[in-house]
Amino acid sequence: MFFMPVFDINYLLFMLPAVLLSLLVQMYVKASYSRWSRVQNRSGMTGAQVAQRLAEKIGMYDLKFKGVPGQLTDHYDPRNRVLGLSQDIAQRPTVASMAIAAHELGHAQQDQDNYFPMRIRTAMVPAVNIGTSIGWIFILMGLLLQIGNLAWLGVFAFSAGAIFAIATLPVELNASKRARQLLQSSGLIISAQEQKGVKQVLNAAALTYVAAIATSLMQLFYFASLAGGMRGRRR
Ligand SMILES: [Zn+2]
């Protein structure tokens, strides 16, 4: 968030529920991750090995791997087909590692299949970056100069962020569905306990995207309320 009008109590009122939801989700994600990071997977494979195995299974032989710093920073980059795995995921043979490595392979498979929702989401990125950066500037200028249409144009540009957050959720849910199918069909999920763990880690991760939708919608509603509040004062 670039613009935090913290002097406005309404902003806090709008954002508080979303912030609380994000905190709760973060705690839940951390808790499920740490729980299943302590459980070894039955195949004894690290996240890197799982990713390698699944890449071969889907026939993606040009997939490149790289280590990324931090925790839960794992991602797949469709621009160069690079799978970034954090140290914990890459190097430890746990149920959590298996789940997250497989989720990222799910994204790789979406890329390979030209999965349409993922294509749309990727294509939206430049417009979203521009929209969310200039949106609040327009809103601020509109409010300062008392030009209602300019403020609404800003709200419109800023809505790209919320649309993007909404477009992300189905892509993420689909990657997790693919993850479970890939693990299942590769025989990497051996016990019922593993199945439960993989599901829990992936469901927790999906909630992060739900919280992101709530946050961006509340921001949008706040800006819309500012622009809406100008009505009648327009010259
Ligand atoms: Zn994902």
In which band, very low, low, confident or very high, does the pLDDT at 235 lie, cut at 50, 70 and 90? very low
In which band, very low, low, confident or very high, does the pLDDT at 214 lie, cut at 50, 70 and 90? very high
From ligand 1's centre to the CA of 73, what distance in Å?
Answer: 10
Residue 232: per-residue pLDDT: 52
Say how many C-beta atoms besides its own lie within 10 A of residue 136's C-beta.
20
Extents of the domains making up the chain: 9-228
From ligand 1's centre to the CA of 104, what distance in Å?
Answer: 6
Query: Catalytic: 172?
Result: no
Q: Are 94 and 37 in contact (CB under 8 A)?
A: yes
Catalytic residue selected from 56, 104, 172, 194: 104
Digit-coded pLDDT (tens) for 150-185: 999 999 999 999 999 999 999 999 999 999 999 999
From ligand 1's centre to the CA of 209, what distance in Å?
Answer: 9
User: Per-residue pLDDT averaged across 114-140, rounded?
Assistant: 93
